[in-house]
Structure 1
Amino acid sequence: MTSSPVAPGVAIEETAQLIAAAKVGGSPVFNRRGERLGTVEDVMLDKRSGRVAYAVMAFGGFLGIGERYHPLPWSMLRYDVDLGGYVVDLDRDQLEGAPSYATSEEVDWADRQWGQRVSDYYGVRPYWAEVP
């Protein structure tokens, strides 16, 4: 049994259908052509529904300088076993203009207007409007 580095003894085994949140962080994100776009840094969960709202992807910069964080609506990501990471139907140009933030910036995750802007940019329904 593989256990969590944060909570020793807590199983983080992966199955064909399930993955521990601790293992999602660090996963690569690719576009449809198989080009690596970035890395999932974290996931944001809706406390009430339990659904994943966003994968926060690190993108851009060089050696960590100028890197920005892009909240990707979780509904956009698909896991690809062959690539060993998540695939999104985006390219670098689309990410350059996408809603993002720097490490030094504060994000108000409770701001529904900001969340709507993220969803509108990617052309998906906001996580809070998705039917379970």
Structure 2
Amino acid sequence: MRGMTRLMLVAVIVGSIAPAVPYAAEDPPAAQAEPNAPPPPAVPVVPKDAAPPPSVTIIGASDAHGVLGRDVRSAADEDMGRIVDVIVDRTGQVRAAVIDFGGFLGVGSRKIVVDWNALHFGKIANKKDSISLELTKAQVAAAPEYKEDTPIVVLGASGTLQPLQFIP
């Protein structure tokens, strides 16, 4: 009886070890999986020199707006045009805004450049999220027209304009 118990014990031990033995090449694990079983989860492959994940900032819809295409008003609530471009220096610092000024429905208008610091963002004349310009309509009308690939003449509010410094 003792021999029989040892034989059963050996059979139980071998039976419990057998599933841990790797499958033979002709008998892959996928072939033995249940037919309706979900596939095993994918393991993400991350290269050794992968960049760290980017930082994320959430800005509320009422806290920030794009400026391109937005109307600009004077302090006296006159229509000063619409922002059509933003000019940055070589460091990426915003320096000025290009405003499509004058004309009617784009006819007879011209582009002028105003110093970014002459623009004010906020509420004026009971209008929500407006952009106001610290210059008069007469001052803007007298400004030279902006043309690409030519020196930029930036119209600034009194005493706020600094020359653009480009390092070649």
Provide the TM-score with structure 1 as the length reference. Answer: 0.64
Question: Does residue 66 of the first structure (1) align with residue 108 of the second (2)?
Answer: yes
SS at match of 1:25: coil
1:8 paired residue number: none
Aligned to 1:24, what secondary structure does the other structure show?
coil
Which amino acid is 2:109 matched to? E
Other-structure match for 1:42: 85
Q: Equivalent residue of 1:90, what SS?
A: coil
Which residue is 2:119 aligned to?
A: 77
Aligned residue number for residue 93 of structure 1 = 138
Q: Deviations over 1:37-57 (max 9, x none)?
A: 111111111231x21111111
The structure with higher relative contact order (CA 8 Å, sep 6+) is 1
Aligned residues: 105
Q: 1:51 aligns with which of 93, 105, 108?
A: 93
What is the CA–CA distance in structure 1 between the aligned matches of 2:156 and 2:77, rounded to whole Å? 25
Identity of aligned residues (%): 30
Check whether the contact 1:53–1:127 (CA below 8 A) recurs between aligned residues. Answer: no
2:3 corresponding residue in structure 1: none
Name the residue aligned to 1:3: none
Q: Which runs of 5+ in 1 are unaligned?
A: 1-10
Q: Deviations over 1:24-81 (max 9, x none)?
A: 1011111112222111111111231x21111111111122111101111101111023
Higher alpha-carbon Rg = 2
Runs (5+) with no aligned partner, structure 2? 1-57
- 1:47 & 1:14 partners in 2: Cα distance? 29
Contact 1:119 1:126 survives alignment (8 Å): no
Note if contact 2:134-2:157 (Cα within 8 Å) is conserved in structure 1. no
- The residue type equivalent to 2:108 in the other structure is G
Residue 13 (structure 1) shift:
6.1
Q: Root-mean-square deviation (CA), in Å?
A: 2.8
